[in-house]
Chains A and B, each alone.
Chain A
Amino acid sequence: MTLAELAAAAGPASAAVLADQGLSDDERAALLEEMRGRLREMRDAIARGLTSDAKSRTGMVGWNAKTLHTAGDVLAAPLLKRVQAYAMAINEENARMGRIVAAPTAGSAGTVPGALIGVGDPLDLADEALVLPLVLAAGIGEVISKTMFIAGSTGGCQAEIGSSAAMAAAAVTELLGGDAEASVHAAAMALMNTIGLVCDPVGGYVEVPCVSRNAFFAVHAISSAQLALAGLRSVIPPDEVVQAMASVGRMLPPELRETGEGGIADTPTGRRIALEMAR
C-alpha cells in the first residue's frame, strides 16, 4: 500500500491499514491484543521514567523527565510539558537499559507514546481508544520501511525520529477525529520537516541528543497533527516526501550516520566524553 492509497481510504486510516494486512478474524484479534500489550508496556515505561532519577551508564542523562515533570508549568501549556516529559521518560528508561517498546527504533521510542498518550491522557479515554491510532502509527512506519531502512546507520536520525514523528503525527490526528487524508498528510508534513537530521550521538551512546530529541519531535508530531486537523495539506505528495528522505539519507556521509564521528559527537566536549567513557 502507498501513502496515496492510504490517504484515499474512506473513514479512519487505521481501518485501511488493518484491511491491507489481509488477516483472518482470529489474526486480527491477536494483532490488536498484541498492540494493547505494547501500549501497556509504553505506559509502564513512562511511569518508571517519570519517577526515576537514576543516571544512565554514562551519567549524561537519567533525571530529565522527572525534573521537567515536577517543574512549574512556566508556559501555561500543560499538554506541551506532559508530552515532552512522557517522551523523555521512555528514552531515559531506554538509556538505563530498561524495558521499552521500539517505535520504530529504541532511540526514537519516546516520540509515539509521548505524543499519543500525552494527548490522550486529559481526554479521559479508555486505553482502547489509543489502540487503533497505534495500529495506524505502525502502518505509517511499515510503508516508510518499504522505501528505506529505518536505522540511523543507514539513513541518519531522520530515518528514526523522522519516521517516529510521522507515525505519531498520524496517530494523534486520528485520535482527535481526523480522517485518513488528514492523518497521512500530518505524517507527510512531520517527515518533510525532519529531512536532513543527522545521527550524531555523543560517544555512540543513545543519550545525547537522543533523549531530548524525542521530547522535541513528540511536540513536532503534535504541531503537524494540528495543521492537518485544521485542513492544511502537504503540497508534495506524501510518497514523494518519503522518497526525498530516502534520497537525502543516501547522501549523508558515514560520519553522520550513527558512528559517533560527526556533528554533536565531534565537538571538543563530545570527544572528551567519548574518551572518558572508553576508559
Chain B
Amino acid sequence: MSLLDVIGPVMVGPSSSHTAGACRLALLARHALGDAPSRARFTLHGSFAKTARGHGTDLALVAGALGFAPDDARIPQAHDEATRHGLGIEFASADLGDVHPNSVRIELWASADERRLELLGSSLGGGLVKAFGLDGFRLEFSGGAPTLLVRHRDTPGVIARVTRVIADDDVNVATLFSARQRKGGEAMMSVECDRPISEVAAAYLLHLPAITWLRQLPTVMSSGSDGAHIALSTAEATP
C-alpha cells in the first residue's frame, strides 16, 4: 500500500474492502466495457457473499457500474440511481474457487449493442483491489495505474509489437500479463503503465491486423471522480 492508500481513500462508509474496494472493481469493469451498461450481474463469493448487505457491498457495486467513485455521496442511493439510469441489477452468490474471500464476478452488458464483459476481482483490504480475470482470460491488474487491455490473435510477435509501441511512446511498463484460450486462438494481455499511451499509439495498435479489441483504463485508486476513459482507445476494430 502507498502512503495515500494507507491514509485513504476518502470514501463513503462503511467498509474500505466491502464498500470502497467493491466500488472500484465495478468501476474497472465499467471502464473495460467502455460504455454505460444496461444490465449488471454481480456474483459474490466468500465474505462478500456473507456480509454484502451489512457493508453496503451491493450499493457500492451498483455505484461503480454507474461510474461513481468511492467518495460519491450518491452511493447510499445507488439502487434508485440505477433505476434512474436504466440499469438492471441482478445479484447471485457462488463459490468462485480458491480465490481471496472478498471476490466477485462482475458481468456488464452494454446498452448500445448488448456486448457482455466479465471481470473477476478481489478486494484486498484498505480499498486495494486486484482484477484477476477478464472475459475468461487469467490476467492481473490493480487499478492503481493506467492499464492497457489488448485482445488479439495468438500469433508470434504481437506482445513484442505492443511493448515496442508503448516504449516508442516513452511510456514505462509496470506489469504485464498475457493469456490465451488455446494455441493460435484468442489471446489477451493487460499492461499496467506509468502513464497512458497516446491516442495515436492506441489507434495504431488497434489498426494492427492481429489486434481485435483495445481499452485504456484510467486508474481507479485516486479519490474524487475518475477521468473518463480515452474515447479513441475504446473503439473496437472492424473485423
Contact = CB atoms under 8 A, between A and B. Distances in A.
Interface in A237-279: 254, 257-261, 277-278
A205 B6 contact: no
A118 interface: no
Interface range, A side = 35 or more
A153 B102 contact: yes
A145 B6 contact: yes
A69 interface: no
Given A204-B51, A206-B13, A278-B53, A154 B125 contact: yes
A138 B7 contact: yes
A107 B125 contact: no
Interface string B7-28: 1111111111101100000000
A103 interface: yes
Contacts, number: 166
Contacts of B127: 102, 105
Nearest to B6: A141
A21 B2 CA distance: 9
Interface stretch (B69-77, B89-97, B213-221): B69-77
Contacts of B51: 201, 204-205, 258-260
Contacts of B52: 204
Contacts of B12: 97-100
Contacts of A260: 50-51, 54
Interface in A124-171: 134-135, 137-139, 141-142, 145, 149-154, 159-160, 167
Interface stretch (A33-41, A80-88, A173-181): A33-41
Contacts of A31: 3-4
A62 B238 CA distance: 56
Interface range, B side = 35 or more
Interface in B33-77: 46-47, 50-56, 59, 71, 73, 75-76
A254 B71 CA distance: 30
Contacts of B17: 105, 151-153
A112 interface: yes
Contact of A104 (B1, B56, B123): B1
A279 B51 CA distance: 14
**Max chain A C-beta neighbours (<10 A), residue from B1, B14, B17, B101:** B14
Given A94-B13, A106-B19, A139-B3, A99 B73 contact: yes
Given A150-B126, A277-B54, A94 B14 contact: yes
Nearest to A151: B125
A277 B51 CA distance: 11
Contacts of B53: 204, 277-278
A203 B19 CA distance: 16
Contact of B4 (A17, A112, A138): A138
A95 B19 CA distance: 11
Contacts of B173: none
Interface of B: 1-17, 19-20, 46-47, 50-56, 59, 71, 73, 75-76, 100-102, 123-127
Given A104-B5, A106-B16, A205-B54, 18 more contacts: A35-B4, A97-B12, A97-B14, A106-B11, A134-B7, A138-B7, A141-B6, A142-B3, A150-B6, A151-B124, A152-B125, A153-B47, A167-B6, A204-B50, A204-B52, A259-B47, A259-B101, A260-B51
6 contacts: A104-B126, A109-B13, A137-B6, A142-B3, A152-B17, A259-B51
